Amino acid sequence: QKEVEQNSGPLSVPEGAIASLNCTYSDRGSQSFFWYRQYSGKSPELIMFIYSNGDKEDGRFTAQLNKASQYVSLLIRDSQPSDSATYLCAAIRGSYIPTFGRGTSLIVHP
Amino acid sequence: DTEVTQTPKHLVMGMTNKKSLKCEQHMGHRAMYWYKQKAKKPPELMFVYSYEKLSINESVPSRFSPECPNSSLLNLHLHALQPEDSALYLCASSQGVVGTARDTQYFGPGTRLTVL
């Protein structure tokens, strides 16, 4: 059973802080990882993808991948209230079908 | 342009109605997907079309019938649904290159379906 695990939260951080969202996966064959942001009642929006071990930065977002530990994370710097949403982690093995985690709810309070 | 469009945005139907959901993309993607999402749950895969052929059916009841008229369009025909089928129905597309894991899915805005 391929699983992607996320803490459902909510994770509450003050405005301007760094939010750290974590995801672990059970399938060692997973090769690519995606972070989606989903506002309540809306569809998932791609934030970042990462294939290689290490860090990948895009604006205020940094994705980190550690394949040895089967761990992927998303850091959001200078968090804003508009970042309040559910963040879905997804992993793909060899086919193009992702396995989604249950999502982490992030609340950024002013 | 990474846009996937879906119509209608909202749909209310009775259990005896027949309706269709539509999805369109013009990114040249060869894989298209239907997902069902209930509140506070992740998207649940229903169907995958690859190169206009149905490649995955995740044991979805026959009251849901997918159709892919061409490489840009994906329909989901609905008939005799149950109230528990009420959910957000999401369409997604990706390049769909088999054998690669580097295949990013882009989601449409979804159709909020309510079955009375």
Identify the pLDDT of residue A94: 67
DSSP A5-55: E-----EEEETTSPEEEEEEES-TT--EEEEEEE-TTS--EEEEEE-SSEE
Q: For residue A62, give Cα distances in angstroms to A109, B7, B90, B103, B108.
A: 21, 34, 27, 20, 25
Which residues does B5 contact at the CB level (< 8 Å), separation at least 6?
A: B23, B24, B25, B108, B109
Q: Which residues contact A59 (CB under 8 A, 6 or more apart)?
A: none
pLDDT for the residue B1 = 62
Each residue of A31-86: pLDDT tens digit? 889 999 999 999 999 999 998 899 999 999 999 999 999 999 999 999 999 999 99
> CB-based contact (8 Å) between A56 and chain B?
no
**A7 neighbors B74 (Cβ within 8 angstroms):** no
Could you list the mean pLDDT of each consecutive 10-residue stretch along chain B, which spans 116 residues?
Answer: 90 94 94 94 93 89 96 96 97 76 84 96
What does the pLDDT look like over A71-99, one tens digit per residue?
999 999 999 999 999 999 999 876 668 89
Q: Look-up: residue for tokens 């989604």? A: A100
Are B101 and A32 a contacting pair at CB < 8 A?
Answer: yes
pLDDT at A93: 78
| Sign, CA torsion B96/B101/B103/B108 | positive
- By the 10 Å C-beta count (0-12 exposed, 13-18 middle, 19+ buried), B4 is classed as buried
Which of 12-31 (A) contact B at CB < 8 A? Answer: 30-31
Name the residue in chain B with its Cα closest to that of A4: B42
User: Using an 8 Å Cβ cutoff, are A19 and A79 in contact?
Assistant: yes
Closest chain A residue to B113 measured between Cα atoms?
Answer: A41
pLDDT reported for residue A92: 85
User: Both ends of chain A: CA-CA distance in Å?
Assistant: 40
Higher pLDDT, A1 or A70: A70
Minimum CA–CA partner of B10 in chain A: A41
Question: Smallest Cβ distance to A49: which of B56, B97, B104?
Answer: B104
Tokens 């508009």 sit at which residue? A82
Map tokens 């290490």 to a residue: A54
Extract the tokens encoding A23.
């995801």
Question: A29 falls in which pLDDT band (50, 70, 90)?
Answer: confident
